């Protein structure tokens, strides 16, 4: 049985394609099983790598993976696609240091949305496509699916989340980057995806819709719906979502998910 060492936590930085500095909080076990670039939650406007350190450090300790927590630029001062560019920079940083180990991308809540967009952008650029390990990402700016109306008083409520989407999304389109994978004509060519969401989470139906689309396009997909769990469970001291994410990282298939993939012929353009 592999022994997991306590992770060493250090600060580093990357540089986004638009020249912006990207601070990174890195939790690295002595002999990591792989690298996961993580984007924290916070409705695209709040949170930080430091605030999420108990989560990301705990994930490194539980899983034996090095966790690269991204201090991405927040809305409304920095709108889409700035945060996606920051996660892409962190992925490139981790790839340079991975020494052949798998590099995947993950995130919780709004960070999961950003991570999914980054993986899709890598696919469309014909670059190395990371697997995704996502926890309750909202994926529909209109918040239109039934789960948003299912529970009175559930967090996040539909009105607040729709307002958060509007604050993040810029009126200027980013033609080579999509804010949500549900806007992509096809999801073919993505690496496998692991999704975790609670049964009582308003974003549940978004996550299920993503899983359905992925499977329809032939992408190996796991979906775990945690009974009785709501949104933001990773921040709970007794988080069940954290255990589910660590378990997803133990899947043997993740060791095969860091290979270059050709650019799909149905896509046009590449990100700058």
pLDDT tens digits for range 198-218: 999 999 999 999 999 999 999
pLDDT at 223 over 80: yes
Query: Active-site residue 46, yes or no?
Result: no
**Confidence at residue 151, expressed as pLDDT on a 0 to 100 scale:** 72
Domain residue ranges in the chain: 8-251
Q: Which of 231, 233, 239, 258 is an active site residue?
A: 231
Give the pairing of strands 103-108 and 66-70. unpaired
Q: Which of 108, 201, 206, 233 is an active site residue?
A: 201
**Confidence at residue 150, expressed as pLDDT on a 0 to 100 scale:** 82
Question: Which has the higher per-residue pLDDT, 13 or 254?
Answer: 13
Q: What is the pTM of this model?
A: 0.92
pLDDT at 100 over 60: yes
**Confidence at residue 262, expressed as pLDDT on a 0 to 100 scale:** 39
CATH (residue range 8-251): 3.40.50.1820
Q: Which of 43, 63, 69, 109 is an active site residue?
A: 109
Average pLDDT, the chain: 91
Q: How far apart are CA 248 and CA 193, in angstroms?
A: 9
Q: How confident is the model at residue 260 (pLDDT cuts 50, 70, 90)?
A: very low
Quote the tokens at residue 209. Answer: 């819709």
What average pLDDT score do residues 212-237 get?
97
What average pLDDT score do residues 54-65 get?
97
Query: Active-site residue 231, yes or no?
Result: yes
Query: Active-site residue 40, yes or no?
Result: no
């Amino acid at each position: 049985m592999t022994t997991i060492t306590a992770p060493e936590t250090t600060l580093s930085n990357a540089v986004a394609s638009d020249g912006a500095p990207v601070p990174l909080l890195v939790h690295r076990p002595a002999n990591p099983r792989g690298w996961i670039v993580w984007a924290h939650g916070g409705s695209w406007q709040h949170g930080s790598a430091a605030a999420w350190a108990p989560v990301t450090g705990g994930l490194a300790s539980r899983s034996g993976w090095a966790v690269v927590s991204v201090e991405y630029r927040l809305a409304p001062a920095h709108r889409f696609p700035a945060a996606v560019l920051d996660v892409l920079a962190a992925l490139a940083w981790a790839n340079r240091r991975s020494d052949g180990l798998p590099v995947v991308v993950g995130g919780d809540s709004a960070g999961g949305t950003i991570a999914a967009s980054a993986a899709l952008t890598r696919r469309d650029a014909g670059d190395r496509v990371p697997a995704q390990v996502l926890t309750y990402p909202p994926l529909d700016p209109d918040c239109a699916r039934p789960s948003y109306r299912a529970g009175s008083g559930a967090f996040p409520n539909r009105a607040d989340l729709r307002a958060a989407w509007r604050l993040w999304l810029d009126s200027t389109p980013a033609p080579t980057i999509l804010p949500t994978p549900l806007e992509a004509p096809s999801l073919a060519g993505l690496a496998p995806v692991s999704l975790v969401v609670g049964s009582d989470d308003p974003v549940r139906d978004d996550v299920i819709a993503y899983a359905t689309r992925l499977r329809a396009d032939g992408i190996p997909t796991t979906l775990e719906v945690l009974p009785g769990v709501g949104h933001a469970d990773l921040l709970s001291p007794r988080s069940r979502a954290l255990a589910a994410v660590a378990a997803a990282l133990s899947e043997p298939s993740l060791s095969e998910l860091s290979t270059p993939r050709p650019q799909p012929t149905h896509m046009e353009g590449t990100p700058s």
